[in-house]
Structure formats: C-alpha cells, structure tokens
Structure 1
C-alpha cells in the first residue's frame, strides 16, 4: 500500500505485505531530510545510468 499527499500527490511512503514489520518512508517530502540518512535504497540496481557534470 502506498501513501501520497492529498494536496500535491507527492509519494510519502509504502508498506509491503511481503515485508511484514517494515515501513518505507520517502525523505524527499520532509522539511529537513538530511536529519534522516537513508538506511536502504529501493530499486538501486534499476537506477538510471546518467552521470551529473
């Protein structure tokens, strides 16, 4: 189940029945995301292979 902001549609987080006891929160919508360093990266292997210059 995924949750989204009712005003703008931003992804907030999700839970997966196959991963009981775990809740995944998207830090990008927070006011101070740097206070919450990531513990995991979802779909990291599927990321775009674009390099920033």
Structure 2
C-alpha cells in the first residue's frame, strides 16, 4: 500500500507496484532517488529531479 505523502514509482521492468527506496543517484543533471523492485529486484531512479536529502 502506498502512502499518500510518499508515492513511489512502479517498476519499469515488471510493472510491480511494490518498490522500496534504494539509495541515491548523483548525475550531471542532479540528484535522483533510486528505487528497487521487491518482485524482480530491478533498480531504477525517478525520472523527475527531486530534492534528495
């Protein structure tokens, strides 16, 4: 179940809605929150740049 104030993206590989935070990705374009799928184990990051603490 997703929290209202913390919507996590669905897995782009398998479409699973259950993902967990998995660190941060720092690129030239900025900082991105990384996520990991609990079903297939794929890691990915948010497409939108957000303030990552």
The TM-score normalised by the length of structure 1 is 0.24
Which one has a bigger Cα radius of gyration?
1
Give the TM-score of the pair, scaled to structure 2.
0.24
Name whichever structure is richer in helix by fraction. 1
Higher relative contact order (CA 8 A, sep 6+): 2
Instruction: From the two aligned structures, give the one with the greater strand fraction.
Output: 2
